[in-house]
Structure 1
């Protein structure tokens, strides 16, 4: 190629060179749904790399300076946690053991993706001998930037013209509870634009401010005493149960009610437990969790005012991440946990803390309950045996999820069977905190929960009324979108009546009109909502994008 001798630098254009491969990799990841791509910053970066510099030394310096910029821009384009999220959890991250770090690193490496990248690099090096990639890269970036602004001129030529009919959709099981009047639901008729989705989120939180569950000021005369056990399990979603092949485990048969569309509204433990203990009020934003809550919002306080003895039982100390401290400050959990001294433990957490066996925790609670003179008791259990990174004490090896889940479900099954045979009257309410992200998806690798994706926040919630006079019937399924407000309303209905002393239970009346909650999940740096039967996500203060499927 003969270059001009003109002194004008604008006649000395060079291609992107090796940076073509950088952008090709990004475009391939975008096409596969693995990037939260930002077209304009990438286009600006490409233009800076293309600006003509006559002196070779300046071009070399530019390429070296571009390396860290390119890495930062690549990180910015991924779904990985933002810097703010990492900084907010820095002290917790540095408490991970070395073997847990190595395990996380092994999950982060996608060998299939590395193989595809190697093939792409070979093809590029081969074809670059005859083809100029730079113009096509620049045009692709320009296209990705302009299409959202001016629209796609070819959209009408390739758009699908038929929508699936209702008869072609998978059958949906009718919920046991009556559906609310559609007029009471938030409006989702507007197109899912960035402005409309933001307005919908704001309307949701404004709507939730007015939601309250009313508890009676006193119990009905001669009402049969019973206990309320709230079992809050870390790292258990429906997706984890399905991936482990334990959807038919015997423990599920104990439950009278099962919620199949229950949203935990977060993917982290502390916020999830705060939301559960503040279930008597509508769903606040993530920031709203860390403000003082009205006493009437506190589920255990509402029961304590009716004479229920409060108790807390955990299989861990509650010190990691200030878990117990935050529950005391923001959820009114002012009770010291049950003593765990002498309890056996087979696994330790990712930071080395012992995690006591669930069956031992249940057995000690049962023993203490027999010794208590309180007629009624409400206990908050928190169990973290399923948390990612837990390892066996005996051999220091990472404990696989499925055996741990089976063990925990076996322990719960045995505990509930023992309660039934003892004749004790108990309402057992199982509400997991969030899922384990066992399978992962295009946005997050297995075990990562920075984004509250649907597969993490859709948790298996069950209610079992043990010791009632009425015979246990087939489990009733509640498939309506629900969250913590429905749990509080259900508990308030239990204490308003005398279901444990009645010969029969009017399930229709008990479940009629349970509160429904649209799916909105939030962590400190991410929000996921369900809108028009599709999920959308917003990271930080960015724009809404469809959740990658």
Structure 2
């Protein structure tokens, strides 16, 4: 009986099934090009895992083909994740508002995402890849680049490789003044006293997170101190706060209106003011809560102490409250937000009979601002009390607004020119009236007119510095001794607490009747505020003189310049 030895099966070699990346080479080459030019928030490890999934040898041809079908939606989702485009959470939170956009405006928004130069460059890259792949095994080079990118990111999963975008040498932000006694940063090795927590740790995700935590902790302790009661010799006056949607310094410069006569009216101009957000509702709440330090976006929708509400502080001193809009306040629940989050409970001024100047992006009416201001001038409710505080929110510069009967978005410069002309005329007429009015013009946020590498024109999901850096002007009308000479420019980093402080310093009205006003005392040592801006899913900060951005709670990366 012969023993038959069974041979063990010979394993099939996998070498013949290393098929390379095929068309996925172009996918990764396209990403590398976008990364180099600063258009991606590239997640190196996630892309390496996806590449390994595509390269894993699978002998069964059907499974191999199935893998490619599975990879298509995965690759698309990963590509989206690598861009600066809004994530699913942000899109869902804004979904109800997007549903309210007109069809023409939606088409306009979609067209802005088409960059013909980038499409042309992608076509050239495609032809180059098809040509070179005849002689070169492109997969080897693509894999090598991907491994190299991951080696560069051993300390973190997110990287930025565009030119001059790294943290580089640390640059500190030093400004004098302020009421708190926290350190700002190091200037030539010496701490600077001010309101901004120190930024001495090396720039990385952990240190920026720690600094942001200390910033909000510091802000929670800050508050404007209004008097318990006005002195017997106080003088009544009116406060008019004009809150303009979609106006930043970048928009004014892009539209060529930096020299408009409106700017010559102001006594005080903040040149380095941060709006803290890029959306209307949160911006209005921050302004209405100006009497306390800056809060996180989440805390904006939590109750605040009565001492935080600017108009409530004025009401305690005998100022009547008034609310004006040049729109209906329905879109985005704006009116509801300023009532619930901003404490503005005054009835909305009557809008019946006002002429319609524009139609909004949702086709709702936007009333002529000159007519609205004229109605405020003649309002009997306001004149019943010599002390009044009015909040006026304007919408004519918002993206997508169009002339009645015209579907195309009206030119921003023409709308801004008209608004500036109307405000200029209003201030001129107010000066002639002899009334005592403190006028504060403060935009909500910018229009993102030019756009950047992170966002196309008009998109404001990320509160970039160009969107939140807004002009704030203050004019005292009807003073016995008006300000002479050029306007006072405040260059230190500021935000809403500085406005509240100026109102508190002026609340007794004595500046309106004084033979001379100490403008240095009025404007010196105003509260400083670090440039921190936040939406629901994005935060942008200035750290050691450079902008950094964090999306969806991820890692911090330098804001692409």
Q: TM-score, length-normalised on structure 1?
A: 0.93
Q: Deviations 1:64-123 (Å, cap 9, x if unpaired)? A: 111111100000000001111111111111111110011001111000000000011011
Residue 365 of structure 1 corresponds to 376
The 3-state SS of whatever aligns with 2:273 is coil
Residue 73 of structure 2 corresponds to 68
The CA deviation at 1:139 is 1.5
Instruction: Looking at secondary structure, tell me which structure has more helix per residue.
Output: 1
The 3-state SS of whatever aligns with 2:392 is strand
Give the alignment of 1:345-364 within 5 angstroms: 345-364=356-375
Give the alignment of 1:361-400 within 5 angstroms: 361-368=372-379, 372-400=383-411
In the alignment, which of 309, 323, 328 is matched to residue 320 of structure 2? Answer: 309
The 3-state SS of whatever aligns with 2:405 is coil
Residue 498 of structure 2 corresponds to 486
| 1:78 equivalenced with 2:83 (yes/no) | yes
Assess if the C-alpha contact under 8 Å between 2:17 and 2:58 holds in 1. Answer: yes
| 1:231 equivalenced with 2:236 (yes/no) | no
Residue 119 of structure 2 corresponds to 114
Aligned residues: 532
Give the alignment of 1:101-500 within 5 angstroms: 101-149=106-154, 182-184=192-194, 185-368=196-379, 372-473=383-484, 474-496=486-508, 498-500=510-512
The CA deviation at 1:148 is 2.3
Tell me the distance in 2 between the aligned counterparts of 1:58 and 1:195.
43
Tell me the distance in 1 between the aligned counterparts of 2:521 and 2:238.
22
The 3-state SS of whatever aligns with 1:54 is coil
Assess if the C-alpha contact under 8 Å between 2:236 and 2:508 holds in 1. Answer: no
* Distance of aligned partners of 1:527 and 1:174 in 2 relative to their CA distance in 1, 3 Å threshold: closer
Tell me the distance in 1 between the aligned counterparts of 2:365 and 2:279.
20
Assess if the C-alpha contact under 8 Å between 1:316 and 1:383 holds in 2. Answer: yes
The 3-state SS of whatever aligns with 2:19 is coil
Residue 155 of structure 1 corresponds to none
* Distance of aligned partners of 1:58 and 1:98 in 2 relative to their CA distance in 1, 3 Å threshold: same
* Distance of aligned partners of 1:246 and 1:179 in 2 relative to their CA distance in 1, 3 Å threshold: farther
Residue 538 of structure 1 corresponds to 550
Tell me the distance in 1 between the aligned counterparts of 2:94 and 2:170.
46
The CA deviation at 1:209 is 0.5
Q: Deviations 1:281-300 (Å, cap 9, x if unpaired)? A: 00010000001111110000
Tell me the distance in 1 between the aligned counterparts of 2:436 and 2:199.
43
Tell me the distance in 2 between the aligned counterparts of 1:84 and 1:193.
25
Q: Deviations 1:496-515 (Å, cap 9, x if unpaired)? A: 45100112110111112100
The CA deviation at 1:174 is 9.3
Tell me the distance in 2 between the aligned counterparts of 1:82 and 1:311.
38
Q: Deviations 1:126-176 (Å, cap 9, x if unpaired)? A: 11111111111111111111212269xxxxxx99xxx9999xx9xx99999
Tell me the distance in 1 between the aligned counterparts of 2:391 and 2:264.
22
* Distance of aligned partners of 1:245 and 1:173 in 2 relative to their CA distance in 1, 3 Å threshold: farther
Assess if the C-alpha contact under 8 Å between 2:178 and 2:528 holds in 1. Answer: no
Gaps of 5+ in 1: 152-157
Tell me the distance in 2 between the aligned counterparts of 1:462 and 1:102.
36
Tell me the distance in 2 between the aligned counterparts of 1:283 and 1:53.
56
* Distance of aligned partners of 1:213 and 1:150 in 2 relative to their CA distance in 1, 3 Å threshold: closer
Tell me the distance in 1 between the aligned counterparts of 2:429 and 2:405.
29
Q: Deviations 1:510-529 (Å, cap 9, x if unpaired)? A: 11210000111100001100
* Distance of aligned partners of 1:192 and 1:309 in 2 relative to their CA distance in 1, 3 Å threshold: same
Gaps of 5+ in 2: 1-9, 157-162, 184-191
Residue 186 of structure 2 corresponds to none
Assess if the C-alpha contact under 8 Å between 2:235 and 2:508 holds in 1. Answer: no
Tell me the distance in 1 between the aligned counterparts of 2:559 and 2:128.
31
* Distance of aligned partners of 1:538 and 1:389 in 2 relative to their CA distance in 1, 3 Å threshold: same
Residue 94 of structure 2 corresponds to 89
Residue 53 of structure 2 corresponds to 48
Assess if the C-alpha contact under 8 Å between 1:348 and 1:390 holds in 2. Answer: yes
Assess if the C-alpha contact under 8 Å between 1:346 and 1:394 holds in 2. Answer: no
* Distance of aligned partners of 1:195 and 1:175 in 2 relative to their CA distance in 1, 3 Å threshold: closer
Tell me the distance in 1 between the aligned counterparts of 2:232 and 2:530.
37
Assess if the C-alpha contact under 8 Å between 1:486 and 1:515 holds in 2. Answer: yes
In the alignment, which of 23, 26, 29 is matched to residue 28 of structure 2? Answer: 23
Tell me the distance in 2 between the aligned counterparts of 1:290 and 1:150.
35
Tell me the distance in 2 between the aligned counterparts of 1:496 and 1:529.
36
* Distance of aligned partners of 1:176 and 1:292 in 2 relative to their CA distance in 1, 3 Å threshold: closer
Tell me the distance in 2 between the aligned counterparts of 1:414 and 1:394.
27
